[in-house]
Structure 1
Amino acid sequence: MNTSTSLIAPTYQPDLNHRHPAFQKGSRLVYGTSGLGGVWGNVDPEESIACLLYAFEQGIGSVDTSPSYSRAEEFLGKALQRWRGERPFLSTKVGRLPAEKADECYVDYSPESMRRSVLTSLEKLGVDQVDLLFLHEPHLVPLDRMEEILDTLRSFQAEGYTRMLGVGGNPTDGFRPFVTQENFQVVSGFLKLDACNLSAFQQDLPHFQKHGIAYYAASALHMALLGNRFEAYVAEPPNTAWITTDDVATAQAVNAIAQQHNLPLASLAQRYLFSIKEADRIVMGARTISQIEATIRDWQAGVLPRDLFDAVTAAIVQQRS
């Protein structure tokens, strides 16, 4: 980690496909399926399946899903049935219950509910085991029941339902002490490591690196702020916990750099994240064929040149200082 800017500057990584030792298979680029399932709006089931198959054909060998992503597990299961290549690295989640919309959030961390959820996920996916099971929404986990929850998660490993365990979401200060190598091997954080926000460097990444825990950088386009919602959010900044006024202002500064280099903001943002060493895996969320084609083009274009990477980092740091 670069310490020249108060421990918040990412390390440039010229190797697009560098692999964290926690992962023996799968690609660094992960297909996040929340958009494919329908929680962010209506989807065409066949297009969602086609998106996954196209990604597999292009070498994307990691997929992340969840029961809370509406029909995403179902569509992924159908894509896996049709796919004739090597099975991708599969991760799903437990704790947050099925929902039709992104803002519907129901959780149940009881052993019975978690077991039922895992078995249902395996059935929908058409597999006997996933590679990684995330405990979803750590900010909602009842900390006074963590030992019971950890015992339940370990039982899933012992029974062969998953190889690895992870945390699916940004750990709170209260939850963070439970994030150790003994309990979890991966954390999937979101909105804290991208081209408008580097706040993961403040507490999360130092803790994870100390404990040898791999990091998924999810929501690569900051919930479309760095993509097709940029103009709308600039016109009317949401100023929510997910998209703050600082995020919007930083995105504007980064967009100015993108324009100077004749790059679409989304392409610059994704390739910036591809260039960050601390992003052990990057989760993108294309919803349509055109979006996944664009993401694949960005991936094939590779990491940013070092000077452009440094310019984006400097813009983020300056805006946030």
Structure 2
Amino acid sequence: MITLSRLGFGAAPIGNLYSAVDDGAASAAVDAAWEAGVRYFDTAPHYGLGLSERRLGAALAGRPRDAFAVSTKVGRLLEPVAPGGDDLANGFAVPTTHRRVWDFSADGVRRSLESSLDRLGLDRVDLVLLHDVDLRPAERDRAAREGFPALAELRAQGVVRAVGVGLNAWETAEWFVRETDVDAVVLAGRYTLLEQPAAASFLPLCVRRGVSVIAAGVFNSGLLARAEVPDDATYDYAAAPPDLLARARRIAEVCGRHGTTLPQAAIQFPLRHPAVVSVLVGARSAAEVRADAAYLAEPVPAALWDDLRAEGLL
């Protein structure tokens, strides 16, 4: 498996996730990540209809290729359409120049990767992930039967260094770990300071199988991103329900007693598990990157975790 920096840069926001980011701010965010020691960068065709890949590739151009790792994803092909409207229905503030076509076939996987390399301006990526198979449960078997073997062949040929899945559902991720020889899983939102459903069986299985887990969505889309939890905090990209708001505030109160903050504990918590090799955090500005790096750099008192367990919050 490839070696990844403990903090990874999630490039969905520089694909204009929910709101526009200009080219300069996007480039500055990547530069700040590099200056902070980040050497792992994650993107996907889905993010801004290719904008994220183009911006990430441009920002990394000129840096020593062996000094960083890039992951991208397959499963959605981008097909040109007549321009018109925007892509906000899919979460991205970009013109609708393409449409997404789900395709987990072997040919679709190879075509998707070729297009991604062109947008990135790279001759290779380090990790390729089957993307969001959990959103297309009827295609899970095809993805494992056709898409994954195509990735495994590319790995055997040395075209990519590692392969895996990028999902939100730990149950689907666990199935792929059992049924295929994935190297890595990007798991979003299901092993966080707020909730740990992946801890019972999925993470121990990854340890036994030698599968690296990259924890994404560690702020649960915003609920854990601030020291004080606002009433309008989001969870899984929607308004957080009252019970989770209350739970997050209880966690924040315990953090405060230990002289730390909720986002600081949230970004460090997943890395305590031996299966987790990196925390992947999205950022749209240099300031956000620097804040995330600072959260990771400042040690969290060990007693914090003990108190959270004692109060039934872990």
Tell me whether the two structures share a fold, i.e. TM-score over 0.5: yes
Structure 1 SS opposite 2:67 = coil
| Shift, 1:261, TM fit | 3.9
| Shift, 1:106, TM fit | 5.2
> Number of paired residues?
293
In structure 1, C-alpha distance between the alignment counterparts of 2:235 and 2:111, rounded to whole Å:
37
Give the equivalent residue in structure 2 for 1:151.
149
In structure 2, C-alpha distance between the alignment counterparts of 1:66 and 1:245, rounded to whole Å:
33
In structure 1, C-alpha distance between the alignment counterparts of 2:182 and 2:145, rounded to whole Å:
13
Give the equivalent residue in structure 2 for 1:76.
56
In structure 2, C-alpha distance between the alignment counterparts of 1:299 and 1:110, rounded to whole Å:
39
| Shift, 1:100, TM fit | 4.0
Range with bigger deviation, 291-300 or 262-271: 262-271
In structure 2, C-alpha distance between the alignment counterparts of 1:175 and 1:221, rounded to whole Å:
20
In structure 1, C-alpha distance between the alignment counterparts of 2:242 and 2:39, rounded to whole Å:
35
* 8 Å CA contact retained: 2:130, 2:148: no
In structure 2, C-alpha distance between the alignment counterparts of 1:184 and 1:210, rounded to whole Å:
13
Give the equivalent residue in structure 1 for 2:96.
none
* 8 Å CA contact retained: 1:29, 1:60: yes
Unaligned runs of 5+ in 1: 1-21
| Shift, 1:51, TM fit | 0.9
Matched, 1:312 2:308: yes
| Shift, 1:74, TM fit | 0.7
**Shift in CA distance, 126/65, structure 1 to aligned 2, threshold 3 Å:** same
Note the alpha carbon deviations across 1:78-121, whole angstroms, 9 max, x for none: 01114358531111111134594454875221333222210011
**Shift in CA distance, 261/177, structure 1 to aligned 2, threshold 3 Å:** closer
**Shift in CA distance, 242/65, structure 1 to aligned 2, threshold 3 Å:** farther
**Shift in CA distance, 301/150, structure 1 to aligned 2, threshold 3 Å:** same
Give the equivalent residue in structure 1 for 2:41.
63
In structure 2, C-alpha distance between the alignment counterparts of 1:69 and 1:45, rounded to whole Å:
15
Listed as ranges, the matches of 1:142-181 within 5 Å are 142-145=139-142, 146-171=144-169, 173=171, 176-180=174-178
Question: Which letter maps to 1:203?
Answer: S
Listed as ranges, the matches of 1:1-321 within 5 Å are 22-23=1-2, 25-70=3-48, 71-83=51-63, 87-97=67-77, 100-101=87-88, 102-103=90-91, 107-139=102-134, 140=136, 142-145=139-142, 146-171=144-169, 173=171, 176-180=174-178, 182-228=180-226, 230-233=229-232, 245-302=242-299, 304-315=300-311, 318-319=312-313
In structure 2, C-alpha distance between the alignment counterparts of 1:205 and 1:230, rounded to whole Å:
28
Judging by fraction of residues, say which structure has more strand.
2
In the superposition, the TM-score normalised over structure 1's length comes to: 0.80
Note the alpha carbon deviations across 1:260-307, whole angstroms, 9 max, x for none: 3454422232233444444221111122121111111122213x1110
In the superposition, the TM-score normalised over structure 2's length comes to: 0.82
Question: Which letter maps to 2:203?
Answer: L
Question: Which letter maps to 2:262?
Answer: L
Structure 2 SS opposite 1:130 = coil
* 8 Å CA contact retained: 1:134, 1:168: yes
* 8 Å CA contact retained: 1:150, 1:183: no
Unaligned runs of 5+ in 2: 79-85, 93-99
Question: Which letter maps to 2:244?
Answer: D
